[in-house]
Structure 1
Amino acid sequence: MAAANDAGQFQKFQIQRENTTFDAYVVGKQNAPGVVVLQEWWGVNNDIKNHAIHASQIGGGYRALIPDLYRGKVALDAAEARHLVEGLDWQGAIKDIQASVKWLKQNGSSKVGVTGYCMGGALAIASGVLVREVDCVVAFYGTPSSELADPSKALAPIQAHFAELDTYVGFADVTAAKSLEEKLKSCGVPHEVHIYPGCSHAFMNASPEALENQGAIDLAWSRFATWMGRFL
Structure 2
Amino acid sequence: MGLLTSTITRTKLSLQPILVLRSLSSTLVSRLQIRSNMATTASPQFKKIQIQREDTTFDAYVVGKEDAPGIVVLQEWWGVDFEIKNHALKISQLSPGYKALIPDLYRGKVGLDVAEAEHLMNDLDWQGAVKDISASVSWLKANGSQKVGVTGYCMGGALSIASAVLIPDIDAAVAFYGVPSSELADPSQAKAPVQAHFGEKDSFVGFSDVTAAKSLEQKLKSSGVPHEVHIYPGSGHSFMNTSPDGIKRRKGMGLDDENEGAVELAWSRFSSWMSQYLYP
Q: Give the shorter-chain TM-score range.
A: over 0.9
When structure 1 is superposed on structure 2, of 143-152 and 6-15 the one drifting more is 6-15
Is 1:129 the counterpart of 2:162? The answer is no
The residue number in structure 1 matching 2:116 is: 80
Residues 208-227 of structure 1: pairs in structure 2 closer than 5 A: 212-227=258-273
Match 1:119 to one of 155, 160, 175:
155
Q: Are the counterparts in 2 of residues 16 and 22 from structure 1 also a CA contact under 8 Å?
A: yes
State the match for 2:198 in structure 1. Answer: 162
Aligned counterpart, 2:209 = 173
What is the distance in 2 between the residues matched to 1:33 and 1:143? 25
Percent of paired sites with the same residue: 70
Larger Rg: 2
Task: Flag the structure with higher helix content.
Answer: 2
The structure richer in strand per residue is 1
1:100-119 to 2 correspondences below 5 Å: 100-119=136-155
After TM superposition, the score normalised by the length of structure 2 is 0.80
**1:5 and 1:11 in contact (8 A); partners too:** no
Aligned to 2:221: 185
Quick one: distance in 2 between partners of 1:184 and 1:63?
Answer: 27
Q: Deviations over 1:64-94 (max 9, x none)?
A: 0000000000000001101100000101000
Is 1:203 matched with 2:251?
no
For residue 213 of structure 1, report the CA deviation from its aligned partner: 1.3
CA distance in 2, matches of 1:47, 1:221: 15
Match of 2:69 in 1: 33
Structure 1 21/93 Cα, relative in aligned 2: closer, same or farther at 3 Å? Answer: same
1:97-142 CA distance string (max 9 Å, x none): 0000000000000000000000000000000000000100000000
In the TM superposition, what are the counterparts of 1:19-30 in structure 2 within 5 Å? 19-30=55-66
2:91 alignment partner, one of 38, 43, 55 = 55
Shift of 1:212: 2.9
Shift of 1:55: 0.4
Once the two structures are superposed, what CA deviation does each residue of 1:171-218 show, in whole Å capped at 9, x if it has no partner?
Answer: 000000000000000011000000000001000002157883110000
Does residue 133 of structure 2 align to residue 97 of structure 1?
A: yes
Q: Matched residues in 2 for 1:154 and 1:48: separation?
A: 25
Report how many residues are paired.
Answer: 229
Structure 1, unpaired ranges of 5+: none
Secondary structure at the counterpart of residue 175 of structure 2: strand
TM-score, with structure 1 as normaliser: 0.96
After superposing on structure 2, the runs of 4+ consecutive aligned residues of structure 1 that deviate more than 2 Å are: 4-7, 208-212
Separation in 2, partners of 1:74, 1:211 = 25
CA distance in 2, matches of 1:40, 1:179: 22
2-side partners of 1:149 and 1:47: how far apart?
A: 26
User: Structure 2: which 5+ residue stretches go unaligned?
Assistant: 1-39
> Displacement of 1:7 after TM fit?
2.5
Q: 1:185 to 1:13 in 2, by over 3 A?
A: same
